[in-house]
Amino acid sequence: MWSNLRRYVCVAAVVALAATSGCASDDANLGAREQESGLCWGPCPTTSAESELADPVVRFLDEYRPDRMRSALRVAVGPTGTIAVTDPDARLVHVLSPRGTPKFKLEVGLPLGVAIDGAGNIYVGDGQTGAVLIYDSVGESTGFLGDGPGEFSQPTELLWVPTDGTIHVADSATSHMSVYSTFGAFQFDYGFAGTGAGGFHFPNGLVFDEAEERIYVTDHSNARIQVFDLFGTYQTAFGTYGSKKGMLNRPGGTALDEDGRLYVTDAFQHTLQVLDTDGLHVSYLGEPGTLRSQVKLSADAVLDPFHRLLVTSHGTGKLLVYGIDDFTEPPPEIPPPLPANVTVAPSTLYAAGGGRWVSVTIEVPDRDAVDLIVASLRLQGIPPDPAGPTSLGDADSDGVPDLTLKFSRSDLIVALPGAGTHVVVLTGELQTGGTIEGVATVVVLASGGG
């Protein structure tokens, strides 16, 4: 197991060019076959073999590094823009909002590949246990693909296919692909260890072409990209080993835009090469280095719903964000409402009879009650009665300022579904920005009172 993990670090992550002697010797052997044979998969690239596709208009926007992320490796994006980044050095998966705000972390033995499906479920390949773990959209564990631990050797890259809901898993150690239903049931395998058509040597990148219903698989150590249909049938391939335009050195994760441009990471060149779907060169993206906006050991890339390209810079532990063409910014994040302590008196109401008002006392910890905007307050959607008195004080004598005001008793009863025990919700806004929300319980009796 640990020899497999070491090979993963040396070959797939490519932690450093000047690595240990074992890693360096591994790399010296990689690609020797391609250099000697000069074999081209697809059109043989030359300096003049360039695509007719327009270069993407690229703008560097930001870099995300939650909690000093140590080794950003694989990245996935959900349908609403939620981001998941594997961090094998920290043994974490960082789940972020579209603007990079941390939402939660998943603790995983050795997180490798990651995918997010249409319901927001997160799939994580664990190189330590050989499992693909499944979590729901809030990070609760819900199961795994297949039989769980031992199902895979190195689940390096994962892909959710929206057209049929399947999950494709690239197992780099065994050099083949496995396909599962969203519910975790095994469907079929494709590929084999080898250099021929449909064979792999350390597959480590997957991207889905929705327009053509094809899957592009990065064949890392064969320095090519192979194309398959959704049933795993080989279609074509392109690429050859080298550093010229259109050639691939150590290709990794790949993204695809609607114009048919592939964004291929290359850990040894520290950049991305943009190719068309025939493998012809379009342009380069990114600048090698460790400064802001620069890339060191690019490992994966994905396009989000806002047409932003997210690129993992493994060597600096950052996620770089680029705007592509007519990108848009994610909508502003609305912070969750602050919790408020709410007391309703009387808490027992009679459907017929009773007083004119109910008194509601609102207390927001760590905030002064004077910060509440009275006109914004709503109890079960009902505004305060403007004829009722309002007072600031400390009604419960706990040292926290509170606000007491009146709401119409009859309006509240009408807003409730009838006799019984009900949870009522109070909402409001603060003058300093933000919102509040609190709940209280009231009992409505069908008759009685006076």
Q: Both 172 and 27 in a single domain?
A: yes
Q: Judge whether 300 lies within some domain.
A: yes
The predicted structure's pLDDT at residue 38: 47
Domain boundary, last residue among 324, 350, 371: 324
Q: Both 287 and 377 in a single domain?
A: no
Domain boundary, last residue among 300, 324, 348: 324
Residue 271 vs residue 321, higher pLDDT: 321
The predicted structure's pLDDT at residue 45: 53
Burial class (CB in 10 A: 0-12, 13-18, 19+), 400: middle
Q: What is the mean pLDDT of residues 252-258?
A: 97
Nearest Cα neighbor of 192 from 209, 179, 175 is 175
Burial class (CB in 10 A: 0-12, 13-18, 19+), 191: buried
Q: Please tell me the pTM assigned to this model.
A: 0.76
Domain boundary, last residue among 277, 298, 324: 324
Per-residue pLDDT band for 26 (boundaries 50, 70, 90) equals very low
pLDDT exceeding 90 applies to what percent of the chain? 78
The predicted structure's pLDDT at residue 44: 58
The predicted structure's pLDDT at residue 395: 85
The predicted structure's pLDDT at residue 14: 38
The predicted structure's pLDDT at residue 76: 98
The predicted structure's pLDDT at residue 448: 63
Quote the CA–CA distance of 10 and 5 in Å, as a whole number.
Answer: 9
Q: Judge whether 403 lies within some domain.
A: yes
Tens digit of each residue's pLDDT (9 = 90 or more) over 337-356: 999 999 999 999 998 777 89
Quote the CA–CA distance of 84 and 363 in Å, as a whole number.
Answer: 37
Looking at the structure of the chain, the number of domains it has is: 2
Q: Both 404 and 313 in a single domain?
A: no
Q: Both 392 and 420 in a single domain?
A: yes
Is residue 133 scored above 80 in pLDDT? yes
Per-residue pLDDT band for 8 (boundaries 50, 70, 90) equals very low
Question: Residue 212 forms beta bridges with which residues?
Answer: none
The predicted structure's pLDDT at residue 41: 64
Q: Is the dihedral of CA 413, 417, 418, 421 positive or negative?
A: negative
CB 5 within 8 A of CB 153: no
Q: Both 94 and 117 in a single domain?
A: yes
Q: Judge whether 333 lies within some domain.
A: no
Q: Judge whether 244 lies within some domain.
A: yes
Quote the CA–CA distance of 275 and 263 in Å, as a whole number.
Answer: 7
Domain span including residue 184: 2-324
The predicted structure's pLDDT at residue 335: 86
Q: Both 162 and 46 in a single domain?
A: yes
Q: Both 419 and 397 in a single domain?
A: yes
Q: Rounded mean pLDDT of the chain?
A: 89
Q: Judge whether 50 lies within some domain.
A: yes
Q: What is the mean pLDDT of residues 211-233?
A: 97
Quote the CA–CA distance of 34 and 53 in Å, as a whole number.
Answer: 27
CB 317 within 8 A of CB 72: yes
Q: Judge whether 18 lies within some domain.
A: yes
Q: Judge whether 450 lies within some domain.
A: no
The predicted structure's pLDDT at residue 318: 95
Instruction: CATH number of the domain at 399, please.
Output: 2.60.40
Q: Both 161 and 192 in a single domain?
A: yes
Tens digit of each residue's pLDDT (9 = 90 or more) over 178-192: 999 988 999 999 999
**Residue 337 vs residues 334, 382, 430: alpha-carbon distances, Å:** 9, 18, 10
Q: Both 388 and 353 in a single domain?
A: yes
Q: Both 274 and 385 in a single domain?
A: no
Q: Both 378 and 261 in a single domain?
A: no
Q: Both 103 and 185 in a single domain?
A: yes
DSSP-assigned letters across all residues of 44-88: PP-TT-B-SSPPP-EEEEEEE-GGG-S----EEE-TT--EEEEET
Instruction: CATH number of the domain at 86, please.
Output: 2.120.10.30
Q: Please report which residue ranges of 271-363 form alpha helices under DSSP H.
A: none
Q: Judge whether 54 lies within some domain.
A: yes
